[in-house]
Amino acid sequence: MLRRLAAVGVVVGLLGCNEECVDAFDCAKVSSKIPLTCDDGRCVAKTTLPMFPSFTGMDAGRRDGGVDAGTLDGGQPVLPLRPGDYTARLSGGQLVPPLTTTAAGSAQATLAVDDAGVATLAWSATVMNTTPIGATLRFDAPAGRTGTGALVVSDGGSLSGTVVLSRQQAAAVSTNRAALVIATTDAPTGGLQGQLAPRGAVVGFTQLVRTSTGQYGGGGQVVIELTGTPPNVFPTAGAYDFEWPESGRVVSAALVQGAASTPLLSLELEASRTRASGTFEPLPLLLMIRDGGLFVTGTGVDGGEIFRGDLSLSLR
């Protein structure tokens, strides 16, 4: 966890934040794409954005290079596609339910869309401490969920290839709702799993645990997309997607930092009884991530906690 947070700290540092200062004149000397001011001896973002925002109704748009949404003949919606490079970190902990294993791995994928609108995914993976026997892509699957569709991409030990995706499958990749599952000799139905996320993004995954029973209760992720190259890196878009279908009594949910009883910061999610999904202005959350200790929590009508999950962060 500390290493993951350190990686995020590098991004924040590249923005010029957290430099020592005496006054605003010191921060004016720091190379940064955003205005900085001095607060308690550290340079911080001088922004008109609220530092305690609600995610409700906030729209971060889409990445450059996206294929626009529209309508098909007959008025059916066309799902937006986002060609580009994606990565996944493979582990047993991302399986549903989680699997304790010493095996691990990583995967890379490139989503491409030709002039005719045909989507393909070129992928490859490497694993350690296990022997692969197959691979499957799962769709409509945020972190911690099994999804509703699957595509076998390898029925043997080979861990690379190119597959043609339907529009819906490509849209699942584009919206961080696709995962790669590796079948192994030790676990033929799935020994490793990794969520596909855009390369060059800050990604936070969580699996939710029901407070009353300690059992698995859902999952999801936060993705903050970045643009530029060091030392000029800047967050451009943010999205979150969580599901808790086994916990249908949820009336509100939030990202929380600090102790549950006395949180330092609580950011409300646009939640329903079974899920929360939306977009947000990423800079305040990126600055919040710098200090760590983030988790997702859901509460019921009586204000009691129904579930929670630590947000595990990494820079892709």
Q: Is 263 helix (H, G, I), strand (E, B) or coil?
A: strand
Bridge pairing between strands 234-243 and 216-227: antiparallel
pLDDT given at position 32: 47
- What single letter denotes the amino acid at residue 152? V
Helix or strand run (H / E) with residue 110: strand 104-113
pLDDT given at position 79: 63
User: What are the backbone dihedrals phi and psi of residue 64, each rounded to the nearest 5 degrees, phi first?
Assistant: -60, 145
91 contacts 193 by C-beta, under 8 angstroms = yes
- Name which of 43, 28, 44, 159 is nearest 90 in CA terms: 159
pLDDT given at position 215: 83
Q: Is 28 helix (H, G, I), strand (E, B) or coil?
A: helix
Distance (Å, whole) CA 268 – CA 265? 10
103 contacts 92 by C-beta, under 8 angstroms = yes
pLDDT given at position 292: 60
Omega before residue 142 within 30° of 0, cis: no
> What does each of the 316 residues of the chain score in pLDDT, given as a tens digit?
223 333 333 333 434 445 566 555 555 555 444 455 666 566 655 433 333 333 333 333 333 344 444 433 444 455 678 899 999 989 998 888 888 899 999 999 999 999 999 999 999 999 999 999 999 999 987 777 777 789 999 998 899 999 999 999 999 998 888 999 999 999 999 999 998 988 878 888 888 888 888 887 788 888 887 776 655 667 777 888 888 876 667 888 888 877 666 777 778 888 888 888 888 777 766 666 655 677 888 888 888 888 888 887 777 6
Sheet of 197-198: strands edge to edge?
A: 160-165, 119-128, 104-113, 84-90, 197-198
H helix runs in 153-262, sequence order: 167-174
pLDDT given at position 12: 39
Q: Give 162's strand partners.
A: 122
Omega before residue 198 within 30° of 0, cis: no
User: What are the backbone dihedrals phi and psi of residue 171, each rounded to the nearest 5 degrees, phi first?
Assistant: -70, -35
Sheet of 178-184: strands edge to edge?
A: 149-154, 132-139, 178-184, 192-195
What are the structure tokens assigned to 253, written together?
A: 């949910």
Q: Is 287 helix (H, G, I), strand (E, B) or coil?
A: helix
Q: Give 261's strand partners.
A: none
